[in-house]
Amino acid sequence: MHTSSITRRTMLSLAAALLAGTVPALAAAEPASWLDPTTGRRIVRVDDRPGNYGLYFNYNPFTPQGDLMIYLSGEGIHVADTKTWKTRLVLPGQVDRLLFAGPKTRSAYYTLRDAAVEEGGPSSVWSVDLDTGKTRKITDLPGGRVMAINADETLLAGVWETSPPPPEIARQGRRDPVTGSPAYAGVDKDGKPLSFAAAKGQWMAARLAARVPMEMYSVAIATGERKSIHRATDWLNHLKFSPTDPTQLMFCHEGPWHQVDRIWTIRVDGTQLTKVHTRTMAGEIAGHEFWGRDGKTVWYDLQTPRGGVTWLTGRNLATGEQWRYEVARDQASYHFMQSPDGRMFSGDGGNAGKWISLLRPVMRETPVPGLITPGRLESIRVADLSKQDYTLEPNQHFTPDGKWLVYRANVEGKPAIYAVELPEVPVLR
């Protein structure tokens, strides 16, 4: 049976079979593929069914072996084979939020929420075995979101608002279940409708100013025990564990980037709260932070000042060593990510340059201890996104073998998940 032909009755039957641990195997779907006419690279359309949703750029979608990628559709949780890009449905039914794949086990983590409960309200956290379909409840949450899983797969981490934000702020922060984007809207001082980007900025400023009390917490995967890590009226967001240190957590103070000291780390016991980047210029912004593959370096988008020179910046938390690679205007991206071998970066583009690209770092100076090492980025364009509406963020991911970039796009008129095959790139010497 092709998964797109599953009826409601069939889905209910499958859900019952899942609970009994007897889910039948579903036939894999054959993906369409072609060569990008601009770049010549092979593109695979992994899935374009309604409600398809790929994970945010810094959430891991791959099994530890790298053979499967998890994603969501209106039918439930799917996996795609990263060699053939054939897909199958693992968990039929409505899922509140697909979180990430386990770093040690062949599991996907997700949340369920009663239909009558608004986003951000009480929910439950579950895992599903990607091979058997067997599910396990981990814990109930009073509200908020789980955002991270640690390197040894013993802890989850999340945040919740211990007091609700003003209703209008809460309403605009809710995400559309199909696009994954909040429905930002607003008017200027003359009553004229704002663009999506301007409305988002207006909303973020209002949310920051509300000073909503929040708590960051951990959940033990084995027992479901929840512990407080940190409380604040700063807007806490973007939690991400180090990929190598199971006790170190990175998070951000969310808000308009020029108004916040954004990037921080903390230990799961609440100690060693540390600011990663200190602004030195009026209007300077830093954000969209992510861990390097070594688990010691934090990378982020730095602008000095906003709208000025853009840098892809790395800071080794252990040694203090820093790198700044200048980002050309047509290399600017919503998100950057580092390749599995640490040699390259990727960018998902923006309105100034609509591409999925490989970005090769080139140092301009010999490193000097105690000084920032400057450099630039060489672009290798792999997928043409000239028809992309960037209200849908591509959120690209390298496959663990480094041979593909997976991204989400609306270049064919509707959201879909794609994979582009990458070229061999020589190492610079």
Tens digits of residue pLDDT in 345-404: 999 999 999 999 999 999 999 999 999 999 999 999 999 999 999 999 999 999 999 999
Rounded mean pLDDT of 220-242?
96
Cβ–Cβ under 8 Å, residues 250 and 239:
yes
Confidence of residue 93 (pLDDT cuts 50, 70, 90): very high
427 compared with 327, residue with greater pLDDT: 327
Q: What is the mean pLDDT of the chain?
A: 90
Q: What is the pLDDT of residue 32?
A: 95
**Which of 166, 6, 69 minimizes the C-alpha distance to 417?**
69
- 197-223 pLDDT, tens per residue? 778 778 888 888 888 999 999 999 999
Give residue-wise pLDDT tens across range 366-381. 999 999 999 999 999 9
For the stretch 18-30, pLDDT in tens is 444 444 444 565 7
The two tokens of residue 39 are 């770049």
Q: Which residues of 84-163 form beta strands (DSSP E)?
A: 87-92, 97-101, 107-112, 123-129, 135-141, 145-149, 155-161
* φ, ψ at 8 (rounded to 5°): -60, -40
Residues with Cβ within 8 Å of residue 271, at least 6 apart in sequence: none
Q: What is the pLDDT of residue 30?
A: 77
* CA 274/CA 303 separation, integer angstroms: 21
At residue 180, the pLDDT reads 53
User: What DSSP character marks residue 150?
Assistant: -
The rounded distance, in Å, linking the Cα atoms of 183 and 318 is 40
What is the predicted pLDDT for the residue at 210? 85
Handedness of CA 92, 95, 101, 107 (dihedral sign): negative
Q: What is the model's pLDDT at position 182?
A: 63
Q: Is the pLDDT of residue 140 over 70?
A: yes
Q: Tell me, what's the pLDDT at 1?
A: 32
Percent share of the chain, pLDDT over 90: 76
Least confident stretch, 124-138, 156-170, 187-201, 412-426: 187-201
Whether residue 165 is preceded by a cis peptide bond, meaning omega within 30 degrees of 0, is: no
Residue 15 reports pLDDT greater than 50 = no
Q: How many CB atoms lie within 10 A of CB 200?
A: 19
